[in-house]
Amino acid sequence: MAVIYGASVANSPQNEVDINYDVVGKNSAAFTLGDPLTIASGVALVAGNSDTVIGIAVKTQTMAANNVGTVNVTPGYIAVDTNLLYLMGTNTDLTSTQVNFGNYCALTGNTTGTVQVDGSNVARTGADRVVVIDQVDPFNEGGSGSGSGLRTVLVRFVKTPYTNVSITS
Measured distance CA(95)–CA(100) in Å, rounded: 7
Model-level pTM? 0.91
Residue 141 has a pLDDT of: 94
Measured distance CA(12)–CA(7) in Å, rounded: 14
Measured distance CA(17)–CA(54) in Å, rounded: 14
Q: Is residue 158 scored above 60 in pLDDT? A: yes
Measured distance CA(76)–CA(83) in Å, rounded: 20
pLDDT tens-digit map of 77-110: 999 988 899 999 999 999 999 999 999 999 999 9
pLDDT tens-digit map of 109-124: 999 999 999 999 898 9
Q: Where are the domains of the chain?
A: 7-79, 86-157
pLDDT tens-digit map of 29-45: 999 999 999 999 999 99
